[in-house]
Amino acid sequence: MLKPTIAFSDFAKLDFRIGQIVQVEEVEGSDNLQKLTIDLGQEIGIRTILAGIRAYYSSKELEGKAIMVLVNLESKKMLKEESQGMLIAADCEGKPILLIPESKVVPGTIVR
């Protein structure tokens, strides 16, 4: 279902960056959440993001990968952990497909 149209000014408020996953841990008490430690460059630094992708990606597959992150999303507490952004992925028949850069990109690079 197509969502309602938004103004460009609303879209411009979103801050998407490229981050590099430096560490992946399981979240205690969850079968699906992974705790991702992500390097978002000098301006932003290191952030923790919780993502419900454990059924689809192993820690080994994720570590070192560059991904797209929404960095100015309000933090959210989940199972005693705080998520400080959101990993951006395509939804392909219920499976998350990570959006990764085609070439090497410096962590923190703005996505437009």
pTM of the model: 0.92
Instruction: Report if residue 108 sits inside a domain.
Output: no
Instruction: Report if residue 110 sits inside a domain.
Output: no
* 55-80 residue pLDDT tens: 999 999 999 999 999 999 999 999 98
Instruction: Report if residue 53 sits inside a domain.
Output: yes
Q: pLDDT band at 39, cuts 50/70/90?
A: very high
CATH code of the domain covering residue 98: 2.40.50.140
Q: What angle do CA 102, 82, 8 make, to 5 degrees?
A: 50
Instruction: Report if residue 111 sits inside a domain.
Output: no
Q: How far apart are the first and last CA of the chain?
A: 24
Q: Is 57 helix (H, G, I), strand (E, B) or coil?
A: coil
**Domain of 42?**
13-103
